[in-house]
């Protein structure tokens, strides 16, 4: 990885108990940052696979500390504004500031839109889209009040550029993140805040493993083939979380100081067809 310098900075990472969020938190610390690691640490009723746990979130904090960073662990539901607001306040009280918001928390499940019940729609869209808004709102307020710039990076998806049969709520949320990113970039530019998103293809994480167990390898393979393989390179399989982390680090760094309002595809060619 590139040798970024986040010394003296504080990163606030959601969905950090495992998967991409764990990778992001560890590597922010590896490059000098202190990290607030947050996760809901409980299951969501409509989701078919286990969510991250309190023990896993503590393990992420241990990884941060092993890399030399200070870690603050907060169990927080991104869907609940009171919890988000309290977490941001706790982070600022602990570290004095936040420099980077990594909006990573998200879930994924499947149902045709004509068969989906309201709970399934609400729980996914509230987690994947409303949560990005709420965290951006409260960390964004901190950036404005502090007056020293900041970085917001959110996890979109190839589903933010395509449709997925059986995943309409997920597609809607990820398209929404792309639009939210553009709008926040416009609103926060005068405060020197960069706002961007990353759109991964399929990533080798507990989320995808859980989806595969819940719906079967054949279903997941069919989804990957809708626009071509998940990955145009090698065996066409899943990419590694660290490849998504690399994009997060770049967009959070001074190297991307003039990049804002952009959704960066790290899709191994998935949307090229």
Residue 96 structure tokens: 């004095």
CA angle 179, 73, 88 (to 5 degrees): 50
Q: Which of 170, 191, 248, 258 is flagged as catalytic?
A: 170
Q: What is d(CA 43, CA 226) in angstroms, rounded to the nearest whole number?
A: 29
Query: Closest by alpha carbon to 227, among 235, 236, 218?
Result: 236
Q: Left if phi > 0, otherwise alpha if psi is -120 to 50, otherwise beta: which for 223?
A: alpha
Other beta carbons within 10 Å of 2: 9
Locus of tokens 């764990």: 22
Buried b vs exposed e over 224-263: b needs ≥16 C-beta within 10 Å?
A: beebbbbbeeeebebbebebbbbbbbbbbbeebeeebbbb
Pairing of strands 193-200, 71-75: unpaired
**Contact (Cβ atoms closer than 8 angstroms) between residue 134 and residue 154:** no
d(CA 134, CA 20): 20
Q: Is 170 a catalytic residue?
A: yes
**How many helices and strands, by DSSP H and E, does the chain display?**
9, 7
Q: Which residues are tagged catalytic?
A: 170
């Amino acid at each position: 990885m590139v040798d970024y310098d986040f010394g003296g900075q504080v990163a606030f990472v959601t969905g950090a108990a495992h998967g991409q969020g764990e990778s992001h938190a560890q590597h922010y610390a590896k490059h000098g940052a202190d990290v607030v690691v947050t996760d809901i640490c409980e299951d969501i009723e409509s989701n078919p696979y286990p969510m991250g746990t309190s023990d896993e979130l503590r393990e992420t904090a241990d990884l941060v500390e092993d890399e030399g960073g200070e870690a603050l662990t907060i169990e927080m539901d991104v869907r609940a504004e009171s919890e988000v607001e309290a977490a941001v306040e706790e982070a600022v009280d602990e570290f004095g500031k936040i420099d980077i918001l990594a909006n990573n928390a998200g879930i994924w499940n499947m149902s045709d839109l004509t068969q989906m019940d309201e709970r399934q729609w609400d729980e996914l869209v509230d987690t994947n889209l409303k949560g990005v808004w709420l965290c951006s709102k409260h960390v964004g307020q901190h950036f404005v009040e502090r007056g020293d710039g900041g970085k917001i990076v959110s996890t979109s998806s190839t589903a933010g550029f395509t449709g997925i049969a059986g995943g309409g709520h997920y597609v809607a949320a990820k398209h929404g993140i792309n639009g939210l990113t553009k709008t926040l970039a416009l609103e926060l530019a005068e405060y020197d805040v960069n706002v961007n998103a990353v759109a991964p293809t399929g990533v080798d994480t507990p989320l995808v493993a859980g989806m595969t167990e819940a719906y079967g390898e054949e279903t997941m393979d069919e989804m990957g083939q809708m626009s071509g393989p998940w990955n145009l390179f090698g065996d066409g399989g899943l990419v590694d979380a660290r490849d998504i982390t690399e994009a997060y680090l770049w967009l959070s760094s001074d190297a991307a100081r003039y990049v804002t309002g952009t959704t960066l595809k790290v899709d191994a060619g998935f949307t090229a067809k």
